[in-house]
Homo-oligomer: A and B are copies of this chain.
Amino acid sequence: MAFLELSGIQKRFGETSAVIDFNLAAERGEFVSFLGPSGCGKTTTLRMIAGFEQPTAGTVAVDGKDITRRAPNQRNVGMVFQSYALFPNMTVAGNVGFGLRVRKQPKDRVAKRVTELLELIHLPDKADRYPYQLSGGQQQRVALARALAIEPQVLLLDEPLSALDAKIRVILRNEIRAIQRSLGITTVYVTHDQEEALSLSDRIVVMSEGRIEQIGSPFEVYNFPATSFVASFVGTLNVMTARVAGAAEGRLVMDGQPIRAARPVTIAPDGANVTIAFRPEMLSMGEAGANRLRGTVQDVTFLGSIVRIRVHLASGATVVSVDTFNDPNLTVPEAGAEVTISFPPEAVLVLEAPPAATAEDLIAEA
């Protein structure tokens, strides 16, 4: 029996369906992320776990108890908001201790627990400050401590890092993960940022338009995306069309150049068109891999640790991105240079055909 169980959850607002048939079973201590673009229903689902929204159908159960109809203040669930939502009229200690005072715990126990939590979030000396005296990152850490103070059964975080600077996001992300591991608390984390979801989670629920697209570990979701939406939303992807030449042996033809996939093509017969995809980092310049494509360099983008080279394939209109690690000694090809790129058969993902709407399409519309 899973610790947190969502069964057949539906949520309609008037005519529109925000969440459609959501099922999830999370184990005790698991870190689950809901990942998807704005309006995909991830926050609505989280709010149904917290009790701020009532599902139109389905049940929410924690530790075997059905809490679907329970009021939010009867649920023992900790919540962290994007806007921090600290009480402006209370000090840091007042905020962290609020839930304990609600539970009528004796003063000295409240004080002790507050001290413990402020040490956990590395702000032991800020107990008497007011929220407005803290930076955004510090405020969010206090909000986390406040949610943890009541020893909730489930911790919910709703895009907690979106309002923060890029650098602070990474630091706080690592801190959240460390605290979650050390306490072993079951956690649901909502985000639109794939790197956050990948680096934090035990499992990721990828959502689109109210539906679950895939549930899996970061490794599974990234390397074996179930749909083309997942493939293009999680990570960067080269997506193109190829024709099946030999389904059984995984032989394909793309822009007239032959390609081999590691596994047989099962979703389409010989001669049919399929969507294939590969990650930029699976490709390399040179002739090392079993699959080779020739083309000319279109441009080179420096992304920090990664250098992305976009190659216009000789045989057609397709542009392919190739990622390599940056290196001060790296010789990057000039735009216009003729190059060969290669990749192993394992790099080729064969996705459903005909190509369905990808995340890029949805975003262009969004």
Pairs A–B under 8 Å by Cβ, sample size 23 = A37-B168, A137-B363, A137-B366, A165-B192, A166-B194, A166-B195, A167-B233, A168-B363, A168-B366, A170-B236, A171-B364, A194-B304, A199-B303, A219-B302, A222-B302, A234-B304, A279-B305, A279-B326, A281-B306, A281-B325, A282-B325, A306-B306, A327-B346
Chain B residues within an 8 Å CB radius of A234: 304
Chain B residues within an 8 Å CB radius of A168: 37, 363, 366
- Also in contact, A193 and B222, with CB within 8 A (given A236-B305, A279-B305, A346-B329): no
CA distance A46 to B303 in the complex (A): 24
Min CB gap A184→B, angstroms: 15
Excluding A234-B304, A280-B305, A329-B346, 13 further A-B contacts by CB distance (< 8 Å) are: A37-B168, A135-B366, A137-B366, A166-B192, A167-B359, A171-B360, A199-B301, A199-B302, A199-B308, A218-B302, A218-B304, A281-B325, A282-B325
Tell me which of A38, A165, A280, A346 has the highest count of chain B C-beta atoms within 10 A of its own C-beta.
A165
Is A323 close to B, CB under 8 A? yes
| Residues of chain A whose beta carbon lies under 8 Å from any beta carbon of chain B | 37-38, 122, 135, 137, 165-168, 170-171, 192-195, 198-199, 218-219, 222-224, 233-236, 279-282, 301-306, 308, 323, 325-329, 346, 359-360, 363-366
Min CB gap A325→B, angstroms: 4
Contact of A304 among B235, B301, B303 (CB under 8 A): B235
Instruction: Kindly list the 8 A-B residue pairs having the minimum CB-CB distance in the complex, ordered from nearest.
Output: A223-B328, A166-B193, A281-B305, A218-B302, A281-B325, A165-B192, A135-B366, A235-B304
B304/A195 in contact, CB under 8 A: yes
Chain B residues within an 8 Å CB radius of A38: 165
Copy total for this chain: 2
Chain B residues within an 8 Å CB radius of A233: 167
Tell me which of A305, A346, A363 has the highest count of chain B C-beta atoms within 10 A of its own C-beta.
A305
Residue of B nearest to A196 (CB): B166
Chain B residues within an 8 Å CB radius of A301: 199
CA distance A329 to B347 in the complex (A): 10
CA distance A170 to B281 in the complex (A): 17
CA distance A236 to B325 in the complex (A): 13
Chain B residues within an 8 Å CB radius of A193: 166
Contact of A192 among B167, B325, B327 (CB under 8 A): B167
CA distance A235 to B192 in the complex (A): 22
